[in-house]
Amino acid sequence: MHDERSRELYDRALSVLPGGVNSPVRATRPYPFFVERGDGAHVVDADGNKYVDYVMGYGPLLLGHDLPQQVESAVQSRLADGPMYGAPAEVEVELAEFIARHVQSVEMVRFVNSGTEATTSAVRLARGHTGRDKIVVMQGGYHGAQESTLVQGETGAVASPSSNGIPDAFAAETITVPFNDEEAVRNVFEERGDEIAAVLAEPILGNCASVGPVEGYLETLREVTDDHGALLIFDEVMTGFRIGGLQCAQGKFGVAPDLTTFAKVIGGGFPVGAVGGPAEILEQFAPTGDVFQAGTYSGHPLSLTAGLEMLRFAAENDVYDHLSDLGDKMRSGLTDILEDRAPEYTVLGHDSMFKVVFTREGPRDTEGQCEAGCRQNPDCPRFGYCPKNRADVAAAETERWERLFWPAMREQGVFLTANQFESQFLSYAHTEEDVEETLEAYKEAL
């Protein structure tokens, strides 16, 4: 595999872009390949190497790299009408109506430009609505590069910033708890429930190897927030319109939050974010309410057109069935391979998300284990070993994954997300043959 051109580009990039990249996760070692173009389920790099792509832009590309004709035409025709206006356009109403029609907890939507902006705005809205300052987040949850959630801390204690440049005073308004630990979140609410504006949680820890909720955990979050007059915010930036199909992860797991943040898929590959919820809360955003929120590019016509047409395509075709069938094929294929090669490793993921976690211990007998990735089933022999939270994923062989396994997959033409923590994504463009080829590569690399 040649990579002279990528190397040369990285050399130039290091002089003008900090670390040579515009988002740290892209700085794979020793240097990233530069993508020249996408092609269905594949990307082609600057040296002409072709990879089966499971990064899919870190989630937005539900249909893969080639937009269906109806999406491409709609985007091109929108572009021909001028890129943006600074006045409302019909497509904003149409996409908001589409989301409200399919996601039960959503009545109104405020569009923004990224997932980070969505979670920042949702937290401000929750604080404005409740008149309280503290928020509770999950350890290992990711809500973008924003001040309230780039924090670290012991369970239930006052958090500290996890990045330089964030004042201690900001982080002190955030409390962290381990995902899937009912007692921890109940204790936090017992001690300081009347100070807490919201719990902000991903329904699946998508940035932590896609660890799923144990039975009853999301219901507990719903119950404690209700009992203490706090809001429950589901961050569905990654899971929205990917997990659970059009009803999103909240529909799949049957727990309705007060607010939902979206991004990724609803922009069809263009920058977008959104906060959704009931009118009673959403109307507290300016101009109807006193929670200020604004943006020059918010509700960008190009992003919203791409998102709307992609979602319409998904609603009219067998997109979600194809994705969950392929996901099951991938996860059960991986489960079979691990049984033979590395029985201590664990397969995680739902629908079109998947990840193999290099856990260090597993059951002696895997008879009766979850077939297509961990379902947090208490009767599964692996249940006690399956990652439940960030600490469990961090305790896995993260160095082996990143330094040996990732390059070995790349060498075989498979592009995985850059580390043990980020989920991987199938798209409508992936085929059974792609999955089979990928499973062979896993066999080789493990």
Give the interface with ligand PLP as residue ranges (CB under 6 A): 58, 114-116, 119, 142-144, 202, 206-207, 235, 237-238, 263
> Smallest distance, Å, CB 116 to ligand PLP?
3
Taking the C-alpha atoms of residue 7 and residue 328, their distance in angstroms, rounded to an integer, is 37
Nearest CA to 260 out of 159, 115, 78 is that of 115
Residue with tokens 């923004």: 112
> Smallest distance, Å, CB 112 to ligand PLP?
10
- The answer to whether the beta carbons of residues 177 and 216 sit under 8 Å apart is no
> Smallest distance, Å, CB 222 to ligand PLP?
19
- Nearest CB to ligand PLP, comparing residues 64 and 206: 206
**Can the peptide bond before residue 161 be classed as cis, meaning omega within 30 degrees of 0?**
no
> Smallest distance, Å, CB 242 to ligand PLP?
11
Taking the C-alpha atoms of residue 321 and residue 319, their distance in angstroms, rounded to an integer, is 6
Using CB positions, name the residue nearest to ligand PLP: 115
Angle between helices 301-316 and 319-341 (to 10 degrees): 80
- The answer to whether the beta carbons of residues 352 and 326 sit under 8 Å apart is yes
Is 434 catalytic? The answer is no
- Catalytic residue (choose from 134, 264, 355, 388): 264
- Nearest CB to ligand PLP, comparing residues 115 and 257: 115
- The answer to whether the beta carbons of residues 236 and 247 sit under 8 Å apart is no
- Nearest CB to ligand PLP, comparing residues 394 and 408: 394
- Catalytic residue (choose from 51, 54, 142, 217): 142
- Catalytic residue (choose from 3, 235, 258, 392): 235
Taking the C-alpha atoms of residue 138 and residue 205, their distance in angstroms, rounded to an integer, is 9
* Three-state secondary structure call for residue 171: helix
> Smallest distance, Å, CB 206 to ligand PLP?
5
Nearest CA to 137 out of 101, 96, 188, 92 is that of 188
Is 142 catalytic? The answer is yes
Is 385 catalytic? The answer is no
- Nearest CB to ligand PLP, comparing residues 202 and 258: 202
- Nearest CB to ligand PLP, comparing residues 207 and 220: 207
Please identify every residue annotated as catalytic. 142, 235, 264
